[in-house]
Structures are given as C-alpha cells and as structure tokens.
Structure 1
Amino acid sequence: MTPEPRPNAADHLDDDDYPAYTMGRAAELIGTTPAFLRSLGEARLITPLRSGGGHRRYSRYQLRIAARARELVDQGTPIDAACRIIILEDQLEDALRLNDELRRREGPSDRAAGS
C-alpha cells in the first residue's frame, strides 16, 4: 500500500481560497487593524477559517474583499452599508458572468433566430 503524499505548502501558492494569512498578517497587508477584520466577520462579509488552535486564517480572496470594505469605509461608508455594497457587487459580477456564459452557449445563429 502506497502512502498518500503529504500536502506541500507550495501546492497552495496559486490557491486564492487557501487560508494562508494570520489575522495580524492579514491586517498588516491591507493596512487595517485586527478589530476591523473581526467586524467584517461579525457582519458576515467574510468568514475566516480557524487553525487547529482556533486562530483566524484568511485567504487572498478574503483579503481582497476586506480591502474593498476598507476602501469604502475610508470613503465614509458605514461598515454595514459597505458590506451590503460588496455583496451586491459580487452578485452582479456572478450574474454578468452567467449571462455571458449563456450567450456563448447559445451561439450566434441562435441569437439571430431569436431576434
């Protein structure tokens, strides 16, 4: 029986969803405080994974969301409104992507016939 390969940290270098950053490092990277990151968790905008010891771990994707929230808050938007804006932006992006995908599947001849 061949042993399963051990996961290598380098395997996750390109994974946007891998929880690689501690709270302190995440806050440092986006120029905010750990309290700000906790508030985003309380608002349910991002949900960091927990390490075995219970420490919050953030992915690059979550850091991009947190950075967008910080940008909106820095412009004077209340944090709850900033979170809602980001959720709506994400939903719009998903809808546009789905719409494009459906149009590609439909093909040019189907569109001409449907017009």
Structure 2
Amino acid sequence: MSSLKLVAVGALFITFAGAASAATNWDVSHPRRAEVNSRLANQDRRVHQEVRRGEISHAEAARLHRDDHQIRREERLMASQDGGHITRQEDRALNQQENRVSRQIGQ
C-alpha cells in the first residue's frame, strides 16, 4: 500500500513539474502578446471609468469584461500552441475582436 502511495506522489510531482516548466516557456513579453494584453488592460480601465461616470450599467460592464476575458483566454490558447508566441494572423484576429469590444465601450 505504501509503495502505491509513493508512486502516486511521484506521478503527481512529475505532473506539477511538467506543468511548471511548460508555464515558463511562455513569452508574455513577446511584442504581439504584449500589444494584445495592453489593449485588454486599457479596455478594462475604460469600462471601469464608464461605470464610475454612470455611462454604462454594471450588467453592461460585466458583459464587456466577459468578452475581454474570452479574448484573453483565446490569446493564451494561441500562445500555448506556438511556444509562447502568437502569429501575425492570430494577432490580427485578436485585434479585430478587441476592436468590436472597444466600439461597444462608450456608445
């Protein structure tokens, strides 16, 4: 029984070590990823600013945040498939999605 526990703990350790090393391969500072993430942060600030001013409701802000969160998840998925980078084509697709959300802020 104890050897089974030892094997299970060892397998768990290897899984976590593999996940940690995979996470370190991500290049968050890659220029295209930095641009996408900077735009998402800017849109987040704009949404909060509009809520404070009373220009949009909390429900509308939540929807815009969900849209931005989906874009961020997609960016991370794309980067995970390309060694921490996103391609120019992926960058264009993400920018188009960000543009759609951006146009909804401040309407």
TM-score range normalised by the length of the shorter chain:
under 0.3
Higher helix share: 2
Q: Larger relative contact order (C-alpha < 8 A, sep ≥ 6)?
A: 2
